[in-house]
Amino acid sequence: MREEIQRIQQAMEREGYVTDRAVATAVHLSMTLGKPLLVEGHPGVGKTEIAKVLAVMQQGDLIRLQCYEGLDATTALYEWNYPKQLLHIRLQQDGDQSVAAREADIFSERFLLKRPLLAAITHQGRPPVLLIDEVDRADEEFEAFLLEVLSDFQVTIPEVGTVRAEARPSVVLTSNRARDLSDALRRRCLYLWIDYPSLEKELRIVRTRIPGIDERLAREVTAFIHSLRRLKLAKVPGVAESLDWARALVVLHATHLDEELVRETLGCFLKDEEDLRTVSARLDAGELPALASPVA
C-alpha cells in the first residue's frame, strides 16, 4: 500500500474514524487530483464524518452546506444584507454623495452576506473543506448551478465582479440516493460508496467511539443491529444508530443486553412505528438470536 494512503488511514483512525483502504484511497486521490469526492451510502454509515475528519486532518475549517428542496443561490451563495444597507442609506441621507456613488457604496463587499459556497471561495488562510451535505435533496436546477461553481471555483456577483478562490477548497459531497444525481455531476467527482460495515469493523467503531463500553455489551449491540439489518425495515439502523444505542446503554449502566432492556430502548435505533412493531413481534417470538444465547 502506498505510504500516503496508509498515513491517511492512520490519521483518520486517530481522529476516531474507523475506516478501510477504499475510503483512504478515495480521500487520498481526491486530495492529490484536486477533485471533489462524492460519497454515497445508506443513512448513518459515516458519510458526513469523512468531511469532518478531513478538515481536522488538513487543519482547515469545515464549511457546511446542508441541501434541501428549494435551496437557492441566496441561501447557498450570497445575499445582500438589506437591513444594513437600508440603515446605511438613512445615515448617509444628508451627505453630498451622488446616487451612483451611494449605490456603489451599499453594493460593496461590506454589505455582502456570505453563504457557504461564497465563504468557501473567499476563505483566507489554509484551504477549507467544503461539505455539501445530502446533495440529492436539492433539486436538479441547483445541481446544475453547483456544477458551475465546482468546475472553476469562481463566482460572478454583478455589483462586485468575479470572485475567484485563491486556494481551492477540498470538496466532499454526500448523497443518500433520494434522487439519482446527474451524470455530469458524477463525472466531475471521484466516487465512493460506503456500505454498512462488517461485524468486526462495526465493533471496532463502537469501541473507538465509546471508549468505556463493556466488551460484552459492545459485542451484543453490534450483533443485534446486524441481525436487524437482515430484516426488511423501513429505516434500517445505520452505524449512527448503533452508536446512539450503545451510548444510551452505557448511560443506563448496562453490561449486557437482555430482552427487557432491548424493549425499553428500541427507540434509540428504530425510527419508524412499523419497524417498532415488526421488531417487537420478532422479540415476542424469540426470533432474534443475538439475545437468546449469551455471547461466550
Site for another protein, rule CB under 8 A: 1-2, 4-5, 21-22, 25-26, 28-30, 32-33, 35, 40, 72-73, 80, 82, 85-86, 89-90, 93, 99, 102-103, 106, 140-145, 180, 182-184, 186-187, 190-193
Compare residues 93 and 124 and give the one whose CB is closer to another protein: 93
Cα dihedral 286/287/292/293 (nearest 10): 160
Compare residues 26 and 268 and give the one whose CB is closer to another protein: 26
Closest CA to 206 of 262, 272, 250, 265: 250
Q: State how far the alpha carbon of 2 is from the alpha carbons of 15, 24, 155, 162, in Å.
A: 20, 11, 37, 40
**From the CB of 32, what's the least distance to another protein, in Å?**
4
**From the CB of 199, what's the least distance to another protein, in Å?**
21
Compare residues 48 and 222 and give the one whose CB is closer to another protein: 48
Compare residues 99 and 292 and give the one whose CB is closer to another protein: 99
**From the CB of 108, what's the least distance to another protein, in Å?**
13
Backbone angles phi, psi at 201, to 5 degrees: -65, -40
Place of cell 435533496: 137
- Pair 160, 112: CB distance under 8 Å: yes
In DSSP terms, 65 is beta-bridged to 132
Compare residues 28 and 64 and give the one whose CB is closer to another protein: 28
Give burial (CB, 10 Å; 0-12/13-18/19+) of 3. exposed
**From the CB of 43, what's the least distance to another protein, in Å?**
15
**From the CB of 22, what's the least distance to another protein, in Å?**
5
